[in-house]
């Protein structure tokens, strides 16, 4: 709604996220994970959250910390089980968190549909598999498709490389992953960036997420994690 | 020259040696990937195929987390947390690389723009069904990632796996008993004992290692169609 707000702290950026919200969280493993915003969300205290993200937390930080804090009711993701997903695994096996597994491309496209005003779409992914059970199907030009519905977030928490003061965003390498799609699919899109530059400081040809999708921006100190050899 | 026989039906049989090692299998697959293809190598064993692509092959590697023309694994100072592959391992970029977001990455897959993907598997059926995402055992946490999208998206889906499970059960089967990843999507199966074409007319052996095609077919429960 309106022009993006430029905020000083992550605590201000996540203010107002209500209990029971659906929160889209960017990142593929650690690349593009908005660690500072997730840490602020833990301090903020919202609970009973539905989290939409590619993974269900790695190691002890980011989403894994949010899960460990007991704030998550349900996770929609493509790849929960990994070498370092022990926090999620424990909660899931104890029946303390729900899981909906969504193929990675469907996760992205369902959010894209939400952001683009598409009511639903027929998708060939998953036809004849357990993940399509109970879903409407249609044969179009001899090929089978499954009807998939949009995934909309109340909030999106994403990490970009830089923003200008209007909220235009650029990303860095494969840390781009879900950011541009999630930015379009949430009621309120909150972005942590490594630097904010003046309006005009990003080349218009290079902008990946236009400012219209961005509601709150907060600069953070770059901090990096790597997962060597993770799956 | 090693003992290679060619049967009347064109099957190449390497009978003076044992089954292929994983790296030998990766080299066999690399040899068969057409020059200049856009290729996605699944996480796990298929990643090793990249090490065997001949220099100048012009193969462009796609990684579904959002990059084309991915380079080899990063070492030392090359490691950049913002540059990883689908297995979340730090990698490098080659000249001509491109980055894109997740919806684009899967659109190029689903839209039929990717020439080949190579995936691991628990089972492949004679009809080309693929099972590789979930054991279906109670208590196992399923994780699908991009496997279902790749299975129906790439023009050619190759499977790389051992032909027999650790308990000796064939993994190329009349009908999959594990939950499916995709239906009728596999076109070729590469294993340590043999490579197979999956065609509308049935499964055909292309090449064998450590035994003859006839011996192998006898161990595969009627899966292989005679020529």
Per-residue model confidence as pLDDT tens digits over B72-105: 999 999 999 999 999 999 999 999 999 999 999 9
Nearest Cβ partner for B82 among A31, A82, A123: A31
In this predicted structure, the answer to whether residue A148 has a pLDDT above a threshold of 50 is yes
Percent of chain B with pLDDT over 70: 98
CA distance B37 to chain A (A): 21
Write down the residue that tokens 């699919």 correspond to: A185
**Mutation for testing the A interface, residue in B71, B125, B144, B182 having most A CBs under 10 Å:** B144
Residues B2 and B17 sit within 8 Å (Cβ to Cβ): yes
Top residue of B46, B69, B83, B88 to mutate, by most chain A CBs within 10 Å, is: B88
Q: How confident is the model at residue B10 (pLDDT cuts 50, 70, 90)?
A: confident
CB contact under 8 A, A111 and B64: no
Which residue segment(s) compose the domain that B76 sits in? 9-218
User: Is residue B93 annotated as a catalytic residue, yes or no?
Assistant: no
CA distances, B208 to each of A130, A221, B120 (Å)? 34, 56, 19
For a pLDDT cut of 90, what percent of chain A falls above it?
90
The packing angle between helices A104-116 and B102-110, to 10°, is 110
The CA distance from A46 to A155, in Å, is 12
Query: Mean pLDDT for chain A?
Result: 95
Closest alpha carbon to A25 in A189, A173, A167: A189
Find the mean pLDDT for residues A197-202.
Answer: 97
Average pLDDT over residues B165-179: 96
> Which A residues 170-209 touch B at CB under 8 Å?
171-181, 208
Q: What is the ipTM of this complex?
A: 0.95
Chain A CB contacts of B141 under 8 Å are 80-81, 89, 92-93, 99
Q: What per-residue confidence (pLDDT) applies to A231?
A: 41
Q: Is the pLDDT of residue A113 over 70?
A: yes
Q: Please determine, for residue B127, whether its predicted confidence score (pLDDT) is greater than 90.
A: yes
Per-residue pLDDT, A128: 96
Residue B225 lies in a domain: no
Mark yes or no for CB contact B101/A108 under 8 Å.
Answer: yes
**Residue B146's CB: how many other CB atoms inside 10 A?**
31
CB contacts < 8 A, A to B, total 164
Q: What is the pLDDT of residue B5?
A: 77
Spatial strand order in the sheet of B130-131: B130-131, B123-125, B172-173
Quote the CA–CA distance of B224 and B199 in Å, as a whole number: 11
SS3 (DSSP) at A212: helix
- Count of other CB atoms within 10 angstroms of residue B66: 30
Whether residue B9 is predicted with pLDDT greater than 90 in this model: the reply is no
Q: What is the pLDDT of residue A201?
A: 97
Domain ranges of chain A: 5-102+151-219
HSE toward the beta carbon, residue B27, CA cutoff 13 A? 5
Tokens, residue B224: 């292989």
Instruction: Please tell me the pTM assigned to this model.
Output: 0.95
Residues 6 or more apart whose Cβ sits within 8 Å of residue B223: B126, B170, B172, B173, B174, B203, B217
Show residues of chain A in contact with B89, CB under 8 Å.
228-230
Listed residue (A110, A112, A105, A103) closest to A183, CA to CA: A112
Each residue's pLDDT tens digit, A43-102? 999 999 999 999 999 888 999 999 999 999 999 999 998 888 999 999 999 999 999 999
The confidence band for B8, taking pLDDT boundaries of 50, 70 and 90, is confident
Our CA-based measurement puts residue A81 at a distance from the nearest CA of chain B, in whole angstroms, of 6
For residue B166, give the CATH number of its domain: 3.40.1080.10
pLDDT reported for residue A1 = 52
- CATH architecture of the domain A5-102+151-219 equals 3-Layer(aba) Sandwich (3.40)
Torsion angle of C-alpha atoms B128, B132, B136, B142, degrees rounded to 10: -140
Contact predicate B120/B132, CB 8 Å: yes
- Nearest chain B Cα distance for residue A125, angstroms: 5
How many domains in chain B?
Answer: 1
> What's the pLDDT at B1?
41
pLDDT at B227: 65
């Amino acid at each position: 709604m309106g022009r993006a707000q430029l905020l000083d702290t992550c605590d201000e950026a996540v203010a107002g996220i209500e209990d029971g919200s659906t929160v889209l969280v960017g990142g593929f493993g650690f690349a593009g994970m908005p660690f500072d915003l997730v840490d602020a969300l833990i301090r903020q205290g919202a609970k009973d959250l539905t989290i939409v993200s590619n993974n269900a937390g790695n190691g002890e930080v980011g989403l894994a910390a949010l899960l460990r804090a007991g704030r998550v009711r349900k996770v929609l993701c493509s790849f929960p089980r990994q070498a370092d997903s022990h926090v999620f695994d424990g909660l899931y096996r104890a029946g303390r968190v729900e899981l909906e597994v969504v193929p990675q491309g469907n996760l992205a496209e369902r959010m894209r549909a939400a952001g683009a005003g598409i009511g639903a779409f027929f998708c060939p992914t998953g036809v004849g598999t357990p993940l399509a059970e109970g879903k409407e199907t249609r044969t179009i030009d001899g090929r089978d498709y499954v009807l998939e519905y949009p995934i909309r977030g109340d909030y999106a928490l994403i990490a970009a490389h830089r923003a200008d003061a209007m909220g235009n965003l650029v990303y860095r390498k494969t840390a781009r992953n879900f950011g541009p799609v999630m930015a379009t699919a949430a009621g309120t899109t909150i972005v942590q960036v490594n630097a904010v530059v003046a309006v005009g400081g990003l080349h218009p040809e290079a902008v990946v997420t236009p400012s219209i999708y961005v509601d709150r921006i907060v600069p953070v100190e770059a901090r990096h994690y790597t997962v060597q050899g993770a799956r | 020259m090693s003992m290679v026989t060619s049967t009347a039906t064109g099957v190449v049989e390497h009978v003076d040696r044992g089954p292929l090692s994983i790296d030998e299998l990766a080299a066999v697959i690399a040899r068969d990937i057409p020059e200049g293809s856009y290729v996605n190598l699944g996480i796990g064993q298929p990643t090793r195929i990249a090490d065997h692509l001949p220099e100048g092959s012009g193969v462009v590697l796609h990684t579904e987390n959002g990059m084309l023309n991915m380079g080899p694994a990063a070492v030392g100072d090359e490691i950049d947390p913002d540059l990883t592959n689908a297995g979340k391992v730090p990698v490098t970029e080659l000249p001509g690389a491109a980055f894109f977001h997740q919806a684009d990455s899967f659109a190029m897959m689903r839209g039929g723009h990717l020439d080949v993907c190579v995936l691991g598997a628990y089972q492949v059926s004679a009809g080309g069904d693929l099972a590789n995402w979930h054991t279906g055992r109670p208590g196992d946490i399923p994780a699908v990632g991009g496997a279902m999208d790749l299975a129906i998206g790439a023009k050619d889906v190759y499977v790389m796996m051992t032909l027999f499970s650790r308990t000796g059960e064939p993994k190329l089967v009349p009908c999959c008993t594990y939950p499916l990843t995709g239906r009728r999507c596999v076109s070729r199966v590469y294993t340590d004992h043999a490579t197979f074409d999956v065609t509308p007319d049935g499964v055909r052996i292309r090449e064998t290692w450590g035994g003859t095609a006839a011996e192998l077919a006898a161990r595969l429960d009627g899966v292989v169609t005679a020529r």
